[in-house]
């Protein structure tokens, strides 16, 4: 386990915990997606006008904006977002490979905990389960 900062701890090569804003869930509305309320990267995920489906990359991942847990954002549907103005928690993330991404992949949110010890324990279980420890 490597402590990178006061807010980031690398549990294994693919699992880390990070202290940050709580993840909330709400119905995606124009008001919620306003840049003054949520971060500017939360936008409606465009659909292909011919098929009505979300465009996908060669790995089957939806292209375009996504919510805090990687789901497409659709008006009227639930979305998760980071509440930068509210309380903070320790979040567990796991690296997902994607060769189309400039960094080769990204960390995907798994769950969060209010206290550090629980987050470390849950992240360690995840790393063991994934064969990372």
**pLDDT per residue as tens digits for the range 114-123:** 999 999 999 9
> Per DSSP, what are the bridge partners of residue 9?
3, 17
Task: Tell how far CA 98 is from the center of its chain.
Answer: 15
User: Any idea what the Cα angle at residue 91 is, between residues 78 and 44, rounded to 5°?
Assistant: 30
pTM: 0.65
Q: What is the pLDDT of residues 80-103, one digit of tens each?
A: 999 887 889 999 999 988 877 778
């Amino acid at each position: 386990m490597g402590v990178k900062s006061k807010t980031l701890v690398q549990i294994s090569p693919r699992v880390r915990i990070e202290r940050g804003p709580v993840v909330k869930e709400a119905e995606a509305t124009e008001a919620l997606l306003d840049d003054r309320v949520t971060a500017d990267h939360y936008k409606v995920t465009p659909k292909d006008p011919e098929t009505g489906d979300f465009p996908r990359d060669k790995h089957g991942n939806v292209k375009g904006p996504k919510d805090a847990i990687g789901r497409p954002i659709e008006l009227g549907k639930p979305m998760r977002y980071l509440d930068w103005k509210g309380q903070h928690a320790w979040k567990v993330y796991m690296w997902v490979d994607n060769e189309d991404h400039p960094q080769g992949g990204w960390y995907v949110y798994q769950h969060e905990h209010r206290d550090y010890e629980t987050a470390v324990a849950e992240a360690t279980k995840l790393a063991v389960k994934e064969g990372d420890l």
